[in-house]
Chain A
Amino acid sequence: MKSGILAAAAAAVVFGAVTGAQAGPTLDAVKGRGFVQCGVNAGLPGFGNPDSSGNWTGLDVDYCRAVAVALFNDPNKVKFTPLSAQQRFPAIQSGEVDLLSRNTTVTLTRDTSVGLNFAPVTYYDGQGFMVNKKLGVKSAKELNGATVCVQAGTTTELNLADYFRTNNMSYNPVVIESNDEVNAAYFAGRCDVLTTDASGLAGTRAGVAPVPDDHLILPEIISKEPLAPAVRHGDDQWFDVVKWTVYATIQAEEMGITSKNVDEFVNSKNPEIQRILGTSPGMGKALGLDEKWAYNIIKTMGNYGEIFERNVGTKTPLKLERGLNALWTNGGLQYAMPIR
């Protein structure tokens, strides 16, 4: 069933008939095709999730759209491919998608032997645990012997094993492939604990739990989960486009440029702002894009802060604070490299 997609992707690597066989020209291929193929989460509220009318929404989804805007000045020139955790790497390796924006943790193995290049981190996350309040558990240290629901093929599965080993506790994993089925098993009571990235737990509690207040996210964050968009190894030009798309949104927030006020900045005398908005040319050409690439991204998608608040911020059901995802100037980790 699902492994059919894996097998198909593996077959694509074997036959090499897809775009993935080319080493460099993803950018040209995407431009020629007229849309970006983007792998996203099939159902994680706040990150990748179709809304009630079938439009894809979420922070990860917005970065797919931002890349499409940088290329075509149109956020709808994206073909979204929902991928399970297990399908995502074969899909990007085989060229089925150009860009993987699916709450994927950056790790050394994935950067090397999986053959990915990671763009800047769009969400600094960490793995947490959610339990039913009825259990009376207040800390992850009390979870010895618990049954834990976890999605197959994630770093979560490994962190879970590491955490229980480090703390000399035992656990019973129930490993299921699809996110929906994992959540269903947890809410039915098959497991004591649900574990995934803390942001994902917040999304699940807000969007899936029958009664959100029955569930408690434990205070322990047991891992670093920097989530970032990824592209295939070996195509530096395409990697640059994705990388600087993310930086442009962060830089815009740092400069106070938003989707609403961006037009006021067009006539700015500040050379830094002139470079990013394309009034003094050069940056777009260097990337192989239109000079208005960053202007279009900010105008259409907003800056990093706007994207964050719109999808996962305190006014959304997820109610996530900026935390580590605040700008470096506000004590967070979001820091854009200079656009010059």
Chain B
Amino acid sequence: MASETRDTARPSAPGGVSFSLSDPTVRAVFYQVLVVGIVIAVGWFLIHNTLDNLSKRSIATGFGFLDREASFGIGESLIDYHPRDSYGRAFLVGVLNTLKVSIIGVVLATVLGTLIGVARLSSNWLIAKLASTYVEIVRNIPPLLQLFFWYALVSESMPPVRQALNPIPGVFLSQRGLFVPVPSADPVWGTMGFALAIAVIAVIFLRRWAKARQERTGQPFPVGSASLGLLIGLPLIAYIAGGAPTALDVPKLQGFNFVGGVVITPEFFAILVGLVVYTAAFIAEVVRSGILAVNWGQTEAARALGIDSGKTLRLVVLPQALRVIVPPLTSQYLNLTKNSSLALAIGYPDLVSIANTTLNQTGQAIEGVAMIMGTYLVISLGISIFMNWYNKRIALVER
């Protein structure tokens, strides 16, 4: 307080300027206030201008439309959906479809990308060259064209629905997609899921116990085979105890289409394969760079210590490679998820497709676009948070 009175008293002497921009503290505060002020002013202007423009043109605003009846059909859905449901539920169907293709896509792209990345480093000339060719061709063609290619491939090369291929009894392949039989509904599937959950928890505790025991006694415990036994055994016991039902829901040609079973539609196939093939090319490069980043001396040192090659990879090379791989891998996961919005072009009902239909029927483009952006932001942040957590876990701990 005392210093403040002195400060205000002092400049009133010669110059009379109490507010000099040459004072670093004043300057810092001044510019920060200025920037915040500009941001608020621009934001206020945008919102005000938008509302003003919308009301001038009598365009409806707000999210009230989400409760109104959607009255349009959706080709495939993970939850029950009927045109009499609301726009909100239709949007949820779209979000789930996006998540479905993203999650399956991320898993498959990781597997394929890793295989190809390793193949590029293979000492076999043919395999290495094939992998390089794949990467160079696939990552240099725009993903939208690849989607059109896969979609056209299915719709042009498959037989019409009435001449569906029937490679295995009960499995039908045609322009309408791949129809496969699924086990009929039975309470035992629920019990098996429960058993699997118990097995997962048991495995987590088993691993902790085994690690503690090894640290205490030096005795390793065969965690791998024990875990596998638990994960398969418990659900299997539940299945047999539940009467081992074998009834199948087999698809049958009825009228225009197959009824029953589960279908993989050409649209889902095209978007999934398109995204996986495209993203795998990038992941392959990420994996290759990660492996090359680990000094060969590390492997030699592990061998010199008598560690076998499997353990060398698992305990020495991979932990160091993952450190390099994970951050760029996160970007690829995010890219795959965002690229799934291209689904609109080939008719897979993802969230962009459904939100676009909604905003077209309601005319509320700003709300629709905001919902699309918000949803992608949430999904992307979710992936980022998970991957950052994983990255931190595997980061090199220096001792």
Contacts and interface: CB of A to CB of B under 8 A. Distances in A.
Given A109-B362, A189-B175, A157 B72 contact: yes
Contacts of B92: none
A234 B56 contact: yes
Interface stretch (B7-15, B45-53, B391-399): B45-53
Contact of B57 (A115, A174, A177): A115
Interface stretch (B21-29, B242-250, B255-263): B255-263
A113 B84 contact: no
A153 B75 contact: no
A152 B46 contact: no
Nearest to A158: B71
B356 A189 contact: no
B267 A174 contact: yes
B257 A161 contact: no
B53 A175 contact: no
B86 interface: no
Interface stretch (B107-115, B322-330, B339-347): B339-347
Nearest to B352: A3
A135 B255 CA distance: 10
B362 to A, nearest CB: 7
Contact of B342 (A1, A7, A160): A1
B357 A175 contact: yes
Interface residue tally of chain A, by bracket? 35 or more
Contacts, number: 175
A217 to B, nearest CB: 18
Given A157-B73, A190-B266, A6 B50 contact: no
B220 interface: no
Given A109-B363, A188-B175, A173 B256 contact: no
B255 A144 contact: yes
Contact of B73 (A85, A161, A178): A161
A137 to B, nearest CB: 9
B290 interface: no
A332 interface: no
Nearest to B52: A16
A189 B342 CA distance: 22
A220 interface: no
Interface string B362-377: 1111101100100000
Kindly list the 3 A-B residue pairs having the minimum CB-CB distance in the complex, ordered from nearest: A114-B363, A153-B360, A113-B60
Interface of B: 46, 49-50, 52-54, 56-60, 71-75, 83-84, 144, 152, 155-156, 160-161, 175-176, 254-257, 259, 266-267, 341-342, 344-347, 349, 352-353, 356-357, 359-366, 368-369, 372
Given A13-B50, A158-B71, A160-B72, 4 more contacts: A14-B366, A171-B73, A184-B152, A189-B160
27 contacts: A6-B368, A7-B369, A13-B53, A13-B366, A14-B366, A16-B49, A16-B50, A16-B53, A86-B356, A113-B59, A113-B362, A113-B363, A114-B59, A143-B256, A145-B255, A145-B256, A146-B256, A152-B344, A158-B71, A158-B361, A161-B73, A164-B73, A171-B73, A175-B353, A177-B356, A192-B256, A233-B59
